[in-house]
Amino acid sequence: MFPRRPGHRLATAAVALGLLCSLNTSAWAGARDLAHGHARITRVPSTAGSQTPLSGYAIRSTADVSDSASAVSSPGYPAKGWYPAGARSTVLAALLADGAYPDPFVSTNLQKIPKSPFQVPWWYRSDFTVTDTSQRTYLDFSGVISAADVYVNGRQVATTTDVTGAYTHHELDVTSLVGSGTNTVAFRIQPNDPDKNLTMGWIDWLQPPPDQNMGIVRDVLVRRGGPVALRDAHVVTRLAVPSLATADLTVRAQARNDSDTPVTAEVSGTVAGVAVTRSVALAAHQTKTVTFTPADVPGLHLTSPKVWWPAGMGGQPLYDLDLTASVVGTASDTAHQSFGIRDVQAPLNSDGARQYSINGRRLLIKGGGWSPDEFLRWDRTYAEDRLKYALDLGLNAIRLEGHIEPDEFFDIADRYGILTLPGWECCDKWEGQVNGDGERGEKWTAADYPVAQASMTAEAARLRDHPSVVSFLIGSDFAPDAKIEKTYLDALKAADWATPVVSAASDNSTPQLGSSGMKMTGPYDWIPPNYWYAKREGGATGFNSETSAGPDIPTLDTLRRMMTPAELDTLWKNPDLKQYHRSPSPVFGTLKIYDEALTGRYGAPKSLTDYVRKAQLAQYENVRAQYEAYGRNQTDSSKPSTGVVYWMFNSGWTSLHWQLMDRYLDQGGAYFGAKKANEALHIQYSYDDRSVAVVNNRHTSASRLTARATLFNPDGTQKYDQSVTDVSVKGDGAHTTALTLPTSVSGLSSTYLARLVLTDATGKEVSRNVYWLSTKPDTLDWAGTDWYHTPTTSYAELKGLTSMAQVPVTATASTTAADGMATTTVTVRNTGTDKTPSLLTDVHLVDANGRPVLPVRWSDNEVSLWPGESATLTATYRIADLHGSQPRVRVSGWNAVERTVPAGLPAPSAQLSSR
């Protein structure tokens, strides 16, 4: 089976894929213009220093192209019947955009796509025009998966030996081949095998794409300039800590004479508003490093610098570097770079754990593991939406294990103050030399070392000026050996890398860097909430680089989008059945461990709806406990917690595990459990010692607080109530124990509810947290711990929740709109006449057809309300995401009577004027 050729309307494909593929606007525009092989021609200006990305490609399997490489890469070649591809596109991404296959995120459609079309090379060709051939022309690119022969106007300019590896950077001087008018560049892309190539693979995250992401996934730039090129411009900052009173800036750039005659270049510009200039004499084809330091430019010693901080700790100011190289008064090339001023340290503490500090202030890394789109389609809006979710969850970091995103990702992280921890991935060629038994990934050959070094050099140069990038992890599950470590470290040093380098994400070490200071002890599958409080294995001590309780079942809305009715039926009825949307790993193929715990704790599901509501309850309590345990222990004097990365933050496809939000950005128990746990000022229950703690993640201390704990039976009967006044807690992650719940309470049922409320000096509620607990705790078999979980030998008795009566919850909602954004304000109230609370009341913003409006950011959600209590919540979202509909609000929950109420915009004109 081979995908059908184009010739149908691309609009049909767009409708079929809908929001599922989430392709960016420029990719769609490129696809439209490339239809039927009529490529959009990229117009390249003559401006010195211009960098113009190719706008897209026509692609075709070499199995279907009998013409010579010279012919294919020549202007005017009739690429009839070729597929359109965007500027950054894998082969399969292009075919999906063209509608060649059904939506791969639904059911087992991905499994049905054959692999054979992607086991031969594919051609990528694109045309560009220039008018001024007196300027020099370069092709500048990375992101080729896995390797490519490169041709320009019928001539080969690079081979697969030269262009190999997803991260290696290439600059090809094609001046002599480029003529006035139309020019053609063609790439013959080789198939990818992440076990054999230093590229990208998917390990056990999701079902891998049949093309293994072969293609070009970053921009190919056409650069123009005069005889002298400016390259590698960057700024090394040194901030005075702890005073933050001064900062020294050192500017470096490479001035390269690409002409056959000697020249003198004038390199001038500004850095942080400070003027710099220097004359550089260059022999023919000579390169010199141009350096500006505070010693020769006193203005580069800044006083009262604007310091960059992570979100929640301060602002995110950025500075600019702008340089121009001129020859005889004419601009030859330019360079621009944004940068931030901040200091990052990450020493090992007395327990051997890595402890990060930013600008002299220690912080707990609270992060999630990032996944790109499965087909590596870049969509800036979609990426930004997910990073906004990270801020909404109170996270401060994202870990990228391989799949290191394009520049725009780090630009967004810089602007939002989200720390990033990029590094190489495990379990394939990257760790083939050091992998353990049973791991994939071939041993390295002599040819792999220069590719690895070039990859490290390129990524270091690309990432070093981003203040959001606070480390590079040169190993993941395994640390590199001495030779590979030296390869990486030499490249990092040459690139002026200034932030900490970590030997591995696991508890491993290398000869030069020493211990990683991190642990990778799991879990990756279900464990109970009390697991996180034990200072062992994956519990809240040290820096856990990837960990979670495994499955994260999406909302019912999402499940119905991604699975067939028959598949949904087996989801809740057959725990032993392999679930295609979980993982290709035999370890994580089923939901058996998770489902047994769900049944053991909450009772056997009675329907799909019952299964999903129990899943949301379980995921809320578990994710909350994970972040709360690490949050509480961060300032402990013994074995403190220093970092935790939820595995994973998101998924690259429609998944049943490892995600705080789903592929469509819908939010359920896992999301709101994390949001609750990471409140800036937070009251929480401790599963290990029954203490009620107040954790303060603000910088300033808090005082004159009142903490109240009340225990209820599931029917709402109150059995215990205690308040403690004048509670104080220091800042920067400190906690204080306000009170401890008694081990025995008269009349308390085996399943009970704990309501914790924190109020300030004025009586205003600043934190509320509701737990469902049991007098019979979950029991762990620590001796049976393996790499992915610790078995549970007996479960907490939470089946009493099923006895909770259904309660009426009313809702009123209204919406305002401005500047393309809408805010819906919802007031929900438990109007029940008895004592029963409404547990985990969920409010979903939906359109007129009942479909979730996404993405959306709620002020709070999944709230628990006692009779007479109300909560006012706000939802913020783009008006365009209503798709012309009026907003509505759907209220549901563990025991709330479901209802949907209107939340319309003030007038139809408000929608239209703001779109």
Q: Which residues are known catalytic residues?
A: 477, 546
Distance, CA of 627 to chain centre: 18
Burial profile 229-253: b = 16 or more Cβ within 10 angstroms, e = fewer? bbbbbbbbbebbbeebeebbbbbeb
Q: From residue 790, how far is each of 205, 282, 512, 540, 548 by CA, in Å?
A: 21, 65, 34, 15, 12
Q: By the 8 A CB rule, do 416 and 311 touch?
A: yes
Longest dimension (CA), the chain: 94
Token representation of residue 357 = 């500090």
How far apart CA 126 and CA 57 sit, in angstroms, is 5
Residue with structure tokens 């319309």? 904
For residue 190, the 8-state DSSP code is: P
- Among positive and negative, which fits the CA dihedral 113, 115, 120, 126? positive
Name residue 281's beta-bridge partners: 264
* Residues 6+ away with beta carbon under 8 Å from 86: 23, 24, 26, 27, 28, 30, 31, 56, 57, 93, 94, 97, 377
* Residues 6+ away with beta carbon under 8 Å from 592: 575, 576
Helices (H) and strands (E) in the chain, counts: 14, 51
For residue 572, the 8-state DSSP code is: H
Name residue 666's beta-bridge partners: none
Q: By the 8 A CB rule, do 693 and 707 touch?
A: no
Residue with structure tokens 């107040």? 694
Residue with structure tokens 């500006």? 292
Continuous segment of H or E residues that includes residue 499? none
Ranges assigned E (strand) in 503-630 = 509-510, 514-515, 542-547
HEC letters along 135-171: CEEEEEECCEECEEEEEECCEEEEEEEEEECCCCCEE
How far apart CA 179 and CA 92 sit, in angstroms, is 33
